[in-house]
Amino acid sequence: MPLNKSKKKTPMPAQKPEVRRRNFNEVALGYTEEDAVNEAQRCLQCKKPGCVQGCPVQVQIPQFIKRIAERDFDGAIKVIKETNSLPAVCGRVCPQEEQCEQRCVVGKMGEPVGIGRLERFAADWERAKGVQVPDLPTKLGKKVAVIGSGPASLTCAGDLAKLGYDVTVFEAFHKPGGVLIYGIPEFRLPKAIVQEEVEFIKKLGVEVRTDMVMGKVLTVDDLFDMGYEAVFIGTGAGLPKFMGIPGENYLGVYSANEFLTRINLMKAYSFPETDTPIKVGKKVAVVGGGNVAMDSARSALRMGADEVHIVYRRSEEEMPARQEEFENAREEGIIFDFLTNPVQIIGDEKGWVKGMECIRMELGEPDASGRRRPVPVKGSEFTMDVDTVVIAIGTGPNPLLIKATEGLELTKHGYIAADENGKTSREGVWAGGDIVTGAATVILAMGAGKKAAKSIHEYLQSKK
């Protein structure tokens, strides 16, 4: 096949910043067939591909890219789906720069091959013409319960269904998808795509039951009583953290979880067409520097805010958000206040936010995480005039199910202790994704779901 020797990735069309900053439509528009073939021709088809090692679910990257280069798009998606059940999601939200693309040989001399973009292209191409369901094995007559319906759970459920298990997914919300549906905004990951990915999992024979708050309506013990022989817990890290500073209960202060749930899951941007309201003021401060902070800030802008600040206590270098999202946010006009930390939130007589007192920070010695610890600069306090504050400083494990499950060993941070295969201290119970690792990435959660499915299969095979 012909080789494309360009040092740069084939560009992907995108909405212009001045247009997209006021709508919730997807920012990146995806490759055309020509773009995809052109980009696929940049792949050197390494014999020992580093990119595959960089992928937590080991998609056979050179193989699928070769098929795209040969215009065999059917073949490409088939290769991807052997190991990845959610390619349209992963192609969009994976931090490829830290995973597959980081290990790409082409990237040593220029930009790496656009693996994520190509995966997305293949998945979108298949979706456009209707998703094929693979041939399924005969049922084994064994039931497995999966708690939660985020990326870890959907992957685990999909893999087990492909092996012939009867899988039921129990989801607390009214829609499955976890963070893909309530957290990541429409402009990065259209909800229709998440729904289609869930439909695919259902077509594999997985039953999805919504409105099931596990630990309340059913416990893990109930599931074993109901005949489930193994349980996978993929409930994520959904407990919002607050800063513990004065004024956090003023009106107009949101956790990022609440802010994004109202907007994404409840579609508050369509109020009053939809019933869930949200209040976004003219000047918004988002506290934090991760992807959730970027998503919140960009959502606030799209809700009509005049000015949106990201207030982050470290500097640009330490920011955990994806480079691409940081750049997108900056292009859209988000203002970054680095080395700045809130001290208190100030309210008016009716209890509404009217300002936020902050202090300047400087970087000191590296801390346990290896990042330089921010230290307040004495006497540098100042007040920002803001009328909405969104707190995006991280999340913890939601205790609902954990509290209701006996014999489950936890880590010192309250997450579920599990081995590398997801096995917990309790027989027949696996866990994976953010509920084990703390808030991480979609693809790592998928990798954990995949390993757990394999381990559950081995366990149930040896049981009979």
Partner 1 sequence: MFKILEKRDLAPSIKLFVMDAPLVAKKARPGQFVIIRIKEGGERIPLTIADYDAEKGTVTVVFQEVGKTTRELGTLKAGDFIQDFVGPLGVPVEFPHHKKVLGVGGGLGVAPLYPKLKMLHEQGVEVVSIIGAKTADMLIFEDEMKAVSDRLYVCTDDGSKGRHGFVTVVLKELLEQGEKFDEIIIIGPPILMKIGAEITRPYGIPTMVSLNPIMVDGTGMCGGCRVSVGGEIKFACVDGPAFDGHKVDFDELMKRLATYRDEEKTSLDRFQETHECKLTGQMKGANENAVK
Alpha helices in 233-357 (DSSP H): 256-260, 291-302, 323-332
Whole-number minimum distance, CB 134 to partner 1, in Å? 31
Toward partner 1, which CB reaches closer, 13 or 351? 351
Cross-strand pairs, 144:
167, 230
Toward partner 1, which CB reaches closer, 32 or 249? 249
Cα dist. 6→34, 70, 105, 124, 399 in Å? Answer: 15, 18, 14, 25, 51
The answer to whether the beta carbons of residues 65 and 115 sit under 8 Å apart is yes
Toward partner 1, which CB reaches closer, 59 or 172? 172
> 236: which residues sit within 8 A by CB, 6+ positions away?
148, 150, 152, 178, 179, 398, 433, 434, 435, 445
Q: Which of 214, 258, 253, 261 is nearest to 240 (CA)?
A: 258
Whole-number minimum distance, CB 351 to partner 1, in Å? 4
Cross-strand pairs, 403:
none
Whole-number minimum distance, CB 128 to partner 1, in Å? 25
Whole-number minimum distance, CB 399 to partner 1, in Å? 7
Toward partner 1, which CB reaches closer, 122 or 263? 263
**Cis ω before 272 (30° cut-off from 0):** yes
Whole-number minimum distance, CB 191 to partner 1, in Å? 13
Cα–Cα distance measured from residue 23 to residue 18, given in angstroms and rounded to the nearest whole number: 10
Toward partner 1, which CB reaches closer, 155 or 388? 388
Toward partner 1, which CB reaches closer, 270 or 323? 270
Toward partner 1, which CB reaches closer, 241 or 454? 241
The answer to whether the beta carbons of residues 446 and 86 sit under 8 Å apart is yes
Cα–Cα distance measured from residue 450 to residue 291, given in angstroms and rounded to the nearest whole number: 24
Toward partner 1, which CB reaches closer, 161 or 345? 345
Residue 137: Cβ within 10 Å count = 11
Tokens in use for 4?
Answer: 């494309």
DSSP percent split of the chain into helix, strand, coil, nearest 5: 40, 20, 45
Whole-number minimum distance, CB 431 to partner 1, in Å? 18
Cα–Cα distance measured from residue 254 to residue 243, given in angstroms and rounded to the nearest whole number: 12
Whole-number minimum distance, CB 230 to partner 1, in Å? 21
Strand ranges inside 30-149, DSSP E? 143-147
Toward partner 1, which CB reaches closer, 69 or 391? 391
Question: Does residue 254 sit in helix, strand or coil?
Answer: strand
Whole-number minimum distance, CB 213 to partner 1, in Å? 5
Which helix (H) or strand (E) segment holds residue 447: the answer is helix 442-463
Toward partner 1, which CB reaches closer, 45 or 249? 249
Whole-number minimum distance, CB 221 to partner 1, in Å? 12
Q: Which of 163, 164, 65 is nearest to 117 (CA)?
A: 65
**Which residues of the shown chain bind partner 1 in the complex (CB under 8 A)?**
172-174, 210-213, 216-218, 238-240, 242, 248-249, 251-252, 254-255, 257-258, 261-262, 266-267, 270-277, 279, 350-351, 398-400
Whole-number minimum distance, CB 320 to partner 1, in Å? 21
